[in-house]
Chain A
Amino acid sequence: GAGVSQTPSNKVTEKGKYVELRCDPISGHTALYWYRQSLGQGPEFLIYFQGTGAADDSGLPNDRFFAVRPEGSVSTLKIQRTERGDSAVYLCASSLNSGGLGTDTQYFGPGTRLTVL
């Protein structure tokens, strides 16, 4: 079946602009996650959705970052007033049900490479 998809695959923007990154999770997956990966580092957690609600947004670096998942499926990560330091690969993952059991498997998309000039 279809995996997690993310659009666009690449996004180049100028400092100060607004960007939206989209994630289509695997159908039926109630949990959705956003991570950010800088060059040479492992992915870093940003936010977690269980259904439509953000259960944990503690990883969002500041209030320029916001994410929504209005119908419990597709999610959009929104970044306002982009800065050069926001340049990274933004990864989305989904899982069947993150009940904190430790057995849940996360399925990742290919990521969106964001470059802020």
Chain B
Amino acid sequence: DAKTTQPNSMESNEEEPVHLPCNHSTISGTDYIHWYRQLPSQGPEYVIHGLTSNVNNRMASLAIAEDRKSSTLILHRATLRDAAVYYCIRYGGGSNYKLTFGKGTLLTVNP
């Protein structure tokens, strides 16, 4: 049970922003929200993570709702290389060391 809900697929145009939503309404107070992506024929790749505050790094931004029941991964300017499956994962404290992947969102980027 991935315990997160994401759309199966989304489409974007190159150089436009992309907002990938994730619902995690049963998240616990100690769970972080992690995003990984998987390009075709590659292993998953870490993108970003956060707990409560919005986060930015060189790859993306993560906007977390105030009640933490949802979050949005933001790619500011999509490129063709961003076409991948994006996974939103609850990753918590205690013994929750393993990543539980759902099916993710398949992002298609149109030139």
Categorize the interface residue count of chain B.
Answer: 20 to 34
Interface-located stretch among A14-22, A38-46, A63-71, A76-84: A38-46
A102 in contact with B32 (CB, 8 Å): yes
Beta-carbon nearest neighbor of B44 in chain A: A108
Query: Which of chain B's residues have a CB closer than 8 A to the CB of A13?
Result: none
Q: A107-B46, A108-B45 are in contact. Are A100 and B99 (CB under 8 A)?
A: no
Main secondary structure of the interface of A (DSSP, over half): loop
Lowest 9 CB-CB distances: which A-B pairs, in order?
Answer: A42-B101, A108-B43, A102-B32, A98-B97, A45-B98, A105-B46, A108-B44, A43-B101, A100-B94
- Interface, chain B (partner A; CB < 8 A): 2, 30-32, 41-46, 49, 51, 85, 87, 91-104
